[in-house]
RNA sequence: AGGGGCGUAGCUCAGUGGUAGAGCAGCGGCCUUUUAAGCCGAAGGUCGUGGGUUCGAUCCCCACCGCCCCUACCA
């Protein structure tokens, strides 16, 4: 590639990309040329800085006008120009860096005519490095009086409108980089997301867990019920599934003697997309030998409480106008939850004993459906075809789940909907499993792992026989083999990181906490397979996105 | 997938069956303590795309594309 810029004029190519707004893009290209003509590189290599804007604002927040005058503080600070208020031969600007905005004051009589000429060729969005001393303006704003100023990177495209910012949701996701520059809230969400994941790692590392990475492309589907993405490996000529869960691999590791493992990584499910579902999502899964589901509930409570304290500064925080409190976690068995939240208008309310009795769940589901139809609520479909356990699951979702705003563990699930969990010693119809609900969302799912290989094989076979596009197509024989070698009593849990981040950042859509959520290709944008291979004469296609035709 | 909404200047938005408007950004001019700086001036548009109705469509109708919301499956 030709890199002639440093030694001479820009190499002009008539097929290079241009972007909307074209007039502003061309204007900035011209400014760039003029800057280079003045002898300033537009893309220099580094800048020796002493502070970030944020550091200055924090460190000198308390310094008074007099203090800054009597003992001069000289700083060199880099940042992106995000506001510009020129006044002829002087100008105020704000530069952004490290999440803060610092005002700078540039005067021709201080920086000199030459530098001021350069400054006037700078545009909103350019990166600059300034050296000067701190002072306070008439309005007492801590600012840098610039002695020296250099361009650190020329920006060829303008920033979004300064007052409204970037409000279009689609554009915010497609051009997340602009969203991050302009919208404080977006930046904060992702900084917090990083903190949350860091704290989770600390939490588990401190408990002697090992972080592991297991395959994301699986030859056999397993570990959850969900429709997969399917792909193909050319060299091995092999059908592969993007993983829907890491579970079966992680438990193999416990068989292998890694008694405490966790993995934070993506799962992929080829299903619906809405405010709390995406085709790829980040899951924390962890497994602990010689433990059971009750211990995990305690541990989850501890984890969530410490996260809220560290991230939000308190166990209480606001989510969608309600205060969520991680100081207390309710625990209800699934049957008790149905009893507790049974709608008053659907009397008589069932009892726990009735739910446990033969034929009970069916009778109760039918009672619910009478009520639901009268109230014009969605009834439970196909009640006749569902097992008692499935009916209990359906009843729970219909009756109780929407009410679970404060953190609530629902435990003791029907065995039929928990194919990987151990049953209770005193009741083989119930699995030692729980889910944690907060703000109506399921955020965690844990259980005492089924480690009886014969039982597990039977349950796998039953699933395969039952069929359906979400059911596994074949028994994972190697997993049964691993269990046959012996999985110690183990408890395992998955926590949806995206949803947890939603809660702790008061974000009401999962896409708000994912950096580049998938959107449909813009019309006119080349589909993936149409993009020419590198090396081919590849004048880039007319990216619809505003690029020149 | 079904129902509803939206799509107008680079951005945020008005608007009308008779060929289009504001603020901000950009351009030219004035301006050395401003902070949505100010003042003056000029420019900027295939009104999402394609059909149809009409003398005439950005507006009415149909289809398509994209985004958002709700409902159904899923964590």
Among A475, A454, A449, A477, CA closest to A464: A475
Q: What pLDDT is stored for residue A192 in this prediction? A: 95
CB < 7 A to strand B: residues 248-307, chain A: 269, 271-272, 274-281
Q: Say whether pTM exceeds 0.80.
A: yes
Q: How many angstroms separate the CA atoms of A526 and A294, rounded?
A: 52
Long-range contacts of A313-322 (CB under 8 A, 24+ apart): A317/A503, A317/A504, A317/A506, A318/A506, A319/A439, A319/A503, A319/A506, A320/A439, A320/A506, A320/A508, A322/A405, A322/A439
What totals of helices (H) and strands (E) does chain A contain, helices first?
Answer: 17, 19
Q: Is the CB of A163 under 7 A from strand B?
A: yes
* Residue tagged 């074949």 (tokens): A474
Distances (CA, A) of A448 to A412, A428, A441, A454: 11, 14, 22, 16
Q: Residue A523 CA to nucleotide B53 C1', Å?
A: 28
Q: What pLDDT is stored for residue A492 in this prediction? A: 97
CB < 7 A to strand B: residues 444-473, chain A: 445, 470
Chain centre distance of CA A197: 10
Cβ neighbours around A187 below 10 Å, total:
15
Q: Is the CB of A539 under 7 A from strand B?
A: no
Q: How many angstroms separate the CA atoms of A111 and A118, rounded?
A: 10
List all nucleotides in chain B with at least one atom under 7 A from a protein Cβ.
Answer: 1, 9-13, 23-27, 30-38, 44, 65-75
Q: How many angstroms separate the CA atoms of A284 and A270, rounded?
A: 19
Closest nt by CA–C1' to A139: B33
Q: Residue A443 CA to nucleotide B35 C1', Å?
A: 44
Q: What pLDDT is stored for residue A15 in this prediction? A: 61
Closest nt by CA–C1' to A280: B75
Q: Residue A179 CA to nucleotide B12 C1', Å?
A: 15
Closest nt by CA–C1' to A524: B65
Asked whether the beta carbons of A438 and A502 are under 8 A apart, the reply is: no
Question: Which residue minimizes Cα–C1' distance to B25?
Answer: A161
Cβ neighbours around A161 below 10 Å, total:
10
Q: What pLDDT is stored for residue A149 in this prediction? A: 95
Largest CA distance in chain A: 91
ipTM value: 0.87
What tokens does A286 get? 């962890």
Successive 10-residue mean pLDDT values, chain A, 549 residues? 33 63 88 93 94 97 94 96 93 94 96 94 94 96 96 91 79 86 88 96 98 95 88 94 95 97 95 87 96 96 97 93 93 94 86 90 90 82 86 92 93 93 93 94 95 95 81 88 97 96 92 86 44 33 30
Q: What pLDDT is stored for residue A14 in this prediction? A: 53
Q: Residue A182 CA to nucleotide B30 C1', Å?
A: 31
CB < 7 A to strand B: residues 487-516, chain A: 496, 498-499, 509-511
Rg (CA), chain A: 30
Phi (first) and psi of residue A332, to 5 degrees? -135, 140
Q: Cis (ω within 30 of 0) for the bond into A21?
A: yes
Q: Residue A272 CA to nucleotide B1 C1', Å?
A: 10
Please give the helix or strand (H or E) that residue A107 lies within, else none.
strand A100-107
Asked whether the beta carbons of A25 and A19 are under 8 A apart, the reply is: yes
């Amino acid at each position: 590639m030709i890199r002639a810029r440093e030694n001479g004029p820009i190499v002009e190519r008539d097929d290079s990309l241009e972007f909307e707004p074209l007039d502003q893009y061309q204007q900035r290209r011209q400014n760039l040329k003029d800057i280079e003509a003045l002898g300033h590189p537009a893309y220099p290599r580094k800048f020796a800085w002493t502070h970030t804007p944020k550091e200055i604002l924090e460190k000198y927040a308390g310094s008074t006008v007099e203090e800054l005058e009597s003992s001069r503080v000289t700083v060199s600070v880099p940042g992106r120009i995000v506001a510009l208020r020129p006044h002829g031969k002087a100008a105020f600007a704000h530069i952004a860096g490290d999440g803060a905005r610092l005002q700078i004051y540039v005067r021709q009589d201080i920086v000199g005519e030459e530098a001021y000429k350069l400054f006037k060729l700078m545009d909103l969005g350019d990166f600059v490095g300034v050296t000067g001393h701190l002072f306070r303006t008439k309005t007492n704003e801590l600012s840098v009086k610039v002695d020296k100023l250099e361009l650190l990177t020329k920006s060829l495209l303008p920033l979004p409108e300064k007052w409204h910012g970037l409000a279009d949701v689609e554009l915010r996701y497609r051009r997340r980089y602009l969203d991050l520059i302009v919208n404080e809230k977006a930046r904060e969400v992702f900084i917090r997301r990083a903190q949350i994941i860091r704290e989770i790692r600390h939490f588990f590392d401190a408990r002697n867990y090992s972080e592991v990475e297991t395959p994301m492309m699986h030859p056999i589907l397993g570990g959850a019920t969900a429709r997969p993405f399917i792909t193909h490996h050319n060299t091995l000529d092999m059908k592969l599934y993007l993983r829907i869960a890491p579970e079966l691999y992680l438990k193999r590791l416990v068989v292998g003697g890694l008694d405490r493992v966790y993995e934070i990584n993506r799962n992929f499910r080829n299903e619906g997309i809405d405010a709390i579902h995406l085709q790829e999502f980040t899951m924390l899964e962890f497994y602990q030998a010689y433990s059971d589901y009750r211990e995990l509930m305690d541990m989850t409570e501890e984890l969530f409480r410490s996260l809220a304290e560290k991230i939000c500064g308190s166990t209480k925080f606001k989510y969608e106008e309600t205060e969520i409190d991680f100081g207390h976690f309710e625990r209800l068995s699934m049957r008790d939850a149905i009893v507790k939240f049974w709608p008053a208008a659907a009397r008589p309310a069932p009892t726990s004993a009735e739910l446990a009795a033969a034929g009970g769940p069916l009778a109760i589901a039918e009672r619910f459906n009478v009520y639901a139809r009268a109230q014009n609520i969605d009834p439970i479909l196909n009640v006749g075809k569902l097992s008692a356990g499935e009916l209990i699951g359906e009843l729970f979702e219909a009756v109780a789940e929407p009410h679970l705003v404060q953190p609530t563990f629902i435990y003791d699930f029907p065995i039929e909907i928990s194919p990987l969990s151990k049953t209770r010693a005193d009741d083989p119809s119930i699995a030692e499993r729980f889910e944690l609900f907060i703000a109506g969302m399921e955020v965690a799912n844990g259980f005492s792992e089924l480690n009886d290989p014969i039982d597990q094989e039977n349950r796998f076979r039953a699933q395969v026989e039952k069929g359906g596009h979400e059911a596994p197509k074949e028994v994972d024989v190697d997993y049964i083999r691993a269990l046959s070698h012996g999985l110690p009593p183990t408890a395992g849990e998955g926590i949806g990181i995206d949803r947890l981040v939603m809660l702790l950042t008061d974000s009401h859509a999962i896409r708000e906490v994912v950096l580049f959520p998938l959107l449909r290709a813009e019309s006119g944008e080349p589909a993936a397979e149409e993009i020419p291979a590198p090396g081919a004469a590849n004048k880039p296609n007319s990216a619809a996105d505003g690029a020149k035709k």
